[in-house]
Amino acid sequence: MTTTRVDIIDRSVEKAHIWINDVAAELSTEDSHHAYRVLRAFLHALRDQLTVDEAAKLAAQLPIFVRGVFYEGWDPSRTPEHARDIDSFLTRIAGEAQLTGERKLRLRLPPPAGSCAATSHQARATAC
One-character DSSP codes across 2-37: PPPP-HHHHHHHHHHHHHHHHHHHHTT---HHHHHH
Residue 97's pLDDT is 87
- Evaluate if residue 52 carries a pLDDT over 70: yes
pLDDT higher than threshold 70 for residue 112 = no
| Angle subtended by helix axes 64-71 and 52-59, to nearest 10 | 160
To the nearest whole percent, how much of the chain has pLDDT over 90? 48
Q: Residues 81-107: pLDDT tens digits?
A: 877 788 888 888 888 888 876 555 443
- Evaluate if residue 109 carries a pLDDT over 50: no
89, 97 contact by CB (below 8 A): no
Query: How confident is the model over 2-23, as a mean pLDDT?
Result: 89
Q: What predicted TM-score, i.e. pTM, was given to this entire model?
A: 0.72
78: pLDDT confidence band, cut at 50, 70 and 90?
A: confident
State the Cα–Cα distance between residues 41 and 21, nearest whole angstrom.
16
pLDDT at 127 over 50: no
Check residue 79 and give its pLDDT: 80
